[in-house]
Every structure is written in C-alpha cells, then in structure tokens.
Structure 1
Amino acid sequence: MSAIRDHLNVHAQALQLREQRNGVLASNIANAATPGFKARDIDFTTALNEAIGNSEMAVTNAGHIPVAGNGGNNMLYRDPTMTSLDGNTVELSVEQMEFAENTLRYQSSLEFLNSKIRGLHQAIRGE
C-alpha cells in the first residue's frame, strides 16, 4: 500500500506545485503595469524534488536569482530580457507563454493521475 501512495504522491505533489506556479504567473500578468513590480516564478523541478524528498537534483534557469517567498528557496525573480524604465520586470508575452505551458502540464498531470487511479480501481474490482 505504501508503494501505491508513494507513486501517486509524486503526481499529487506535481499538481499542487503547478497550481501554485499558476498563481504566481497570474500575479505577474495582473501586475504587468505596476511600476516596480518584480516578476517571480517557481523552480518547479527543485520544488518537486524537495516535495517528494529527492532534493539532490537542484536545477535552476541561469536567468533566475534565488529569493525567499511562498515557494521557499524555489521562488525566484525573473531576469528580464528587456529592462523597463519604471522598474517593472514583467514581460507579458513571456508570462503568458509560461502560464499556458504550465496550464497544459497541469492538465496532463491531472489526466495521468486520473488514469492511474482508474487503473487501480479496475485492478481492485478484478476487471
């Protein structure tokens, strides 16, 4: 039973982190016109590895600067490609692309988790 829980835990943790990341990205998009706002993101790979107890693989984007926040050590400031005169680091096209990709990955993780649960349910029923 523990193996099943551990196997499903990875996918459950991934869903939670994807949901948290969508919140951060949505906040970035909502503050695209706020002077001085600094765009943030979550280092998903590191956060997932820490959540499942496998923190030896710490990977970050070279354009990110680590800071503390809701995601712990995995909350990062995004390094903009173009600087803004008002100090805002949100690049709307980047944030929208990251949000769309993260949403797609969230849906894929959810479908995968649902198929695993359906498979287990069928195995329990002997189908």
Structure 2
Amino acid sequence: MSSTISPLDFHAQALMLRAERQRLIASNIANADTPGYQARDMDFGKALQQATGALPVPGAMTTTHAGHMSVAAGAASDNELLYATGPQDSLDRNTVDLDRERAAFAENAVKYEATLRFINNHVRNLTEAMRNPSQG
C-alpha cells in the first residue's frame, strides 16, 4: 500500500510548501510600501527535500519519546527563509520588487494548480482501479 500512498505524500508536502510560499510572496506584496521591510522567500527545492526526508532538517530536534510533539513537516522556520535583494537600493530600505513578486506569485500559483491536478488524477486513478479490479 505504501507505493500507492507515496506519490500522494510527496504531492501533499509540495502542496503545503507551495501554499506557504504563496503566503510569503503575498506578505511581500502587501508590505511593498513599508519602510525597511525585507522581502522573504524560501528555497522551494531544498524545503521539499527536507519535508520528504531527502535532506536532514537543520537544527531539528529528534523525538525521544512517543508522547512528544513534532514540528509540522515542511514548516519553514524564520532562520531558513531567504532575504531578497532588490535590483537597486531604495531610500526607505524596502527590498520588495513588485514586478519580481508578481511574477513569482503567478508562477507559484500555476505550480500549485499543477500539484492539485497531480493529486486529483492520482486519486481518480486509484478510485477507478478500485471500481474495476478485473481490469489492469
């Protein structure tokens, strides 16, 4: 059963990270006029590798007892987020480049939608296989 769940796990992690990245980009756009605001972003590939267990999470605490709570997989801490640097310095030290943020927002939205489609297709295929066990 793990071979049928594994792709769903991967895409679920990717979906959560895409949603988190969308939140970060939206926050950057909302603070475009805030003096001194430093635009933030995440390294999506690295975050996905950490969330899926391909890379160790830096500074992660290990669970030593079954009753201990764990941090949500894929949740990026503040020290893992990256700071964006603007193409030119602004007088108010704000590093939000609205053109870059809008492009990143649109690109991330398209990739979020693609991930949803992967999940929907996988679930549809599993459902179809359960309805017609004699085929295949």
**Pair in the same fold by TM > 0.5:** yes
Alignment of 1:19-38 (within 5 A): 19-38=19-38
Aligned to 1:65: none
Alignment gaps of 5+ in structure 2: 57-74
Q: Which amino acid aligns with 2:52?
A: I
Q: Which amino acid aligns with 1:119?
A: N
Aligned to 2:49: 49
Q: Distance in 1 between matches of 2:116 and 2:80?
A: 22
Which structure has more relative contact order (CA 8 Å, sep 6+)? It is: 2
Aligned length in residues: 114
**Residue in structure 1 matching 2:82, options 61, 76, 80:** 76
Q: Which amino acid aligns with 1:71?
A: A
Q: Distance in 1 between matches of 2:98 and 2:7?
A: 36
User: TM-score, normalised to structure 1's length?
Assistant: 0.85
More strand by share: 1
Q: Distance in 2 between matches of 1:96 and 1:41?
A: 13
Aligned to 1:114: 120
Runs of 4+ in 1 over 2 A off after TM superposition: none
Q: Distance in 2 between matches of 1:74 and 1:17?
A: 13
1:97 Cα deviation after fit = 0.4
Q: Distance in 2 between matches of 1:82 and 1:104?
A: 28
Aligned to 2:69: none
Alignment gaps of 5+ in structure 1: 57-69
Percent of aligned pairs with the same residue?
A: 46
User: TM-score, normalised to structure 2's length?
Assistant: 0.79
The alignment partner of 2:83 has SS state of strand
Aligned Cα RMSD in Å? 1.4
Alignment of 1:58-69 (within 5 A): none
1:93 pairs with 2:99: yes
Aligned to 1:67: none
1:46 and 1:74 in contact (8 A); partners too = no
Q: Distance in 1 between matches of 2:84 and 2:55?
A: 22
Greater radius of gyration (CA): 2
